[in-house]
Structures are given as C-alpha cells and as structure tokens.
Amino acid sequence: MPDFQQQLREVALRVTRPRLAVLEAVHAHPHADTESIIASARALLPEVSHQAVYDSLHTLTDAGLVRSIKPAGSVARYETRTGDNHHHVVCRSCGEIADVDCAVGHVPCLTASDSHGFVIDEAEVIYWGLCPDCTSRPQ
Amino acid sequence: MPDFQQQLREVALRVTRPRLAVLEAVHAHPHADTESIIASARALLPEVSHQAVYDSLHTLTDAGLVRSIKPAGSVARYETRTGDNHHHVVCRSCGEIADVDCAVGHVPCLTASDSHGFVIDEAEVIYWGLCPDCTSRPQ
DNA sequence: CTGCCGATCTTGACTGATTCAAGAAAGATG
DNA sequence: CATCTTTCTTGAATCAGTCAAGATCGGCAG
C-alpha cells in the first residue's frame, strides 16, 4: 500500500482526510466511477461530502496522482496507475475496463502522419470490444 | 456533395427531411457539436425539433453514416468521414479538433500486448495537444 | 393514385452527472 | 497558539441528453 500522505506532500498538496480517503478508494478499486468512489471513501470517512470527492478527484488528477478515463457512453472513472502510458480496453456490452500495454513500443502511435500544426503531448488509446464474460454469454 | 438520399436507402433507413438536413449539416461542419448541428439543420429545415436531431444522429451513427466523437471534457461531436480508421487530435486549450491518419499503418495499435481475453474490434486514438492558434497565443 | 401501418417527428417534461457559490472548518507555517 | 489560506459542507443550479405520448409522414400494397 503506497504512502498516500507522502504522495500528497510531494506534489505540494495539503494532506486532508478526504484526499486520503479518495486516494485509498481509487487505489483499491481501479476504474471505479465517481459514485463508487464516494461510497468507498465514506467507508473510511463517513461524513465526506460528494463535493469534496469531486474536488479531490480534480485536484489529484491535476497533480498527476490519479488519472481519469472517460470512455464514450460512460461516466468518469479513475485509477492511480499513472505516468506509464498504458491504455484501456472497454467492453461495449457491460462497460468493464481493463488495462493494456500497447504492443508497438514505448510511445505508441505518438507520431501522427500529419498533425495539422498541433503540438501533440499525449496519445490516448481506447480499445473497444467484448470482455470474456460478455463474449461467452451473448445477447 | 454526396447523395444523402441514396446513402439512407442503402442502409435501409427512411428518407426523411430531418435526416437529410442532419446529414448535410454534419457533412458541412465536421466535428460540430449537437447544438451547432441543430442550428445548421434549422437553416435547411427551420422547424426541426432538437429531439429529431438527437434521434437522427443516433440512427445515422448506428447505421454507420456518421461517426461520433466524445473527447473527455467535450460534448458529443459528429463527422461523416467513416470507415477509414482515422483518428483525431484535440486542442487542450480551445477544443479544436482535426483529423489525423496514424503513421504506423493501416491498423494502428490494434494489437494490444495482453488484452485480458477481450475480443477487440476497434482502436480509438485521441491525440492531445495544442492547436497552432493556441500555441502562438499562449495563456 | 389512394389508403394503411409502423417508423419517425413534435412537444414538453424529466434525469442525473457535474458544477457553482457562500460560509464553516481545518491544514500549514511562524 | 494564532493566523492565513486552502479545503470542505451544504444546498442549489446547470445542461446535455433522455423519456413518453400523441401527431405526422414515408413506404408499400392494392
């Protein structure tokens, strides 16, 4: 279990109980949506407000301690695995998300053939398909 | 200008004035959001309801005549360029979107190293960065 | 050309994730 | 411990998108 208190100090953020609870919740349930994170955080800190969770998630995302994912058709989801350029595979049927590393190399697809003058700093890849459960249980 | 009436018939959809107006609007303004499409469609068909536009966009998307894009932090956007596996670059500052072809080849990044048993049918890539305007005009 | 049937459209209300705002509480620093 | 901000609580608001009921229209059969 990472030292979340330490992580917060390293990015010059105040150590507050809501933030610790949110970090722990996101770490324990990768790819969880905000509602689930609120529930998990309240297991640790019963009176935390939903707004504090939203604020914490934004702050932690800006600081790079958590990463948010928003596949089309899904609400925002969060994870603590950051800074390693991994991607996600999303089930079209049930919305299940899993991590994947791109086969192409360290900086996959970062080179667009013609970027129209844009200065690109990140390539985000979402693989769409069916998870094992939904594949074996059609309809 | 493509024959939208013909396109609708080819996918067994009824040819209605709202659908023609929506197709024409999306074709004329690639990457436009729903509100803009409603406005453009009303230039052609003044009394069209927002619900008809939403319905048409869904139907046309399901039929493959238009494609929707939902970058994180943006509302849904649409384009008529479909079926060619191109990707998008999105400006973090102003939200501007441009098309890009992936340099890697025809099926970029479609091979994940470990897909956790998912059956993958599409890889969606979004490049994040700054557009030329926002690069030259910082802050 | 006319009538019918089901798909599609209009109207209007509603939902729900996320945001905004004002005041209260609580980290951090000296 | 005192002070100054930042952060949190509370409660309301926003807004893209959806739902539902009835009216209308496109396509096809006669």
B1 burial via Cβ count (<10 Å: 0-12, 13-18, 19+): exposed
Instruction: Give chain B positions within 8 Å (CB) of A133.
Output: none
Exposed/middle/buried for residue B34 (C-beta within 10 Å: 0-12, 13-18, 19+): middle
User: Can you give the distance from the CA of residue B3 to the C1' of nucleotide D16 in angstroms?
Assistant: 31
Q: How far is the CA of A57 from the C1' of D13 (A)?
A: 21
**Strand C lies under 7 A from the Cβ of residue A54:** yes
CB atoms within 10 A of CB B121: 11
The 10s digit of each residue's pLDDT in B49-102 is: 999 999 999 999 999 999 999 999 999 999 999 988 788 999 999 999 999 886
- Does residue B85 come out as left (phi exceeding 0), alpha (psi in the -120 to 50 range) or beta? left
Q: In what order do the strands lie in the sheet with A32-33?
A: A32-33, A77-79, A67-69
3-state secondary structure of B60: helix
pTM over 0.75: yes
Q: Name residue A39's amino acid.
A: A
pLDDT per residue as tens digits for the range A25-51: 999 999 999 999 999 999 999 999 999
Q: Is B126 on the interface with A (CB under 8 A)?
A: yes
Alpha-carbon gap, residue B23 to B111, rounded angstroms: 33
Interface contact B127, partner A, CB < 8 A: yes
Q: Please indicate whether, in this complex, the C-beta atoms of A124 and B127 are within 8 angstroms of each other.
A: yes
